[in-house]
């Protein structure tokens, strides 16, 4: 069974739903842990120091949103770990998976419109699904 479940979150209803499902899966195995991850998108081509104050404000806001997310998930979420990283979303999620031996990713996705399929293939959930070295459960 899965022991290290990652839930990338952008603090939307979709990621809240994905986190709830991850917690349900974790209940199936006593030793399973859930980590909620938020990636703060950085400005391409800019040095971190140039925008340090801006990034610090984003980090502070994300930390507050993460606390609200955990609280909204109920008491069983209190054991969930949280992480906030900086970078490009899909690559940072993949890096996190590799660095923390994640064995399942649960993330929110949206229904693909067959008329707009090429546009929908560029989503974060699609990229994570393709590049993840472990199973990915996309929640719609």
Q: What is the mean pLDDT of residues 68-87?
A: 94
Highest mean pLDDT pick, 27-31, 73-77, 94-98: 94-98
User: 1: Cβ–Cβ under 8 A, 6 or more apart, which residues?
Assistant: 28, 29, 32
Rounded distance between C-alpha atoms, residue 38 and residue 29, angstroms: 24
Quick one: pLDDT at residue 14? 92
Q: What percent of the chain has pLDDT over 70?
A: 94
pTM of the model: 0.92
CATH number for the domain that contains residue 82: 3.40.50.620
Q: Which residues of 71-99 are buried (b: 16+ CB within 10 A; e: fewer)?
A: eebeeebeebebebbeeebbebbbebbee
Q: How many domains does the chain have?
A: 1
Quick one: 19 exposed, middle or buried, by C-beta within 10 A (0-12, 13-18, 19+)?
buried
Domain extent for 38: 4-139
Quick one: pLDDT at residue 123? 85
Q: Answer yes or no: is pLDDT of 112 > 90.
A: no
- Only one residue has tokens 């997310």, namely 69
- Only one residue has tokens 């993949």, namely 94
Q: Answer yes or no: is pLDDT of 119 > 90.
A: no
């Amino acid at each position: 069974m899965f022991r290290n479940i990652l839930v990338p979150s952008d603090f939307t209803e979709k990621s809240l739903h994905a986190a709830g499902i991850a917690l349900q899966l974790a209940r199936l195995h006593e030793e399973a842990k859930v980590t909620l991850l938020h990636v703060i998108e950085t400005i391409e081509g800019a040095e971190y120091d140039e925008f340090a104050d801006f990034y610090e404000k984003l980090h502070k806001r994300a930390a507050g949103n993460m606390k609200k997310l955990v609280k909204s998930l109920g008491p069983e979420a209190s054991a969930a770990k949280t992480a906030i990283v900086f970078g490009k979303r899909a690559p940072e999620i993949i890096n996190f998976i590799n660095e923390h031996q994640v064995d399942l990713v649960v993330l929110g996705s949206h229904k693909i419109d067959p008329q707009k399929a090429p546009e929908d293939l560029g989503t974060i959930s699609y990229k994570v699904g393709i590049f993840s070295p472990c199973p990915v459960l996309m929640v719609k």
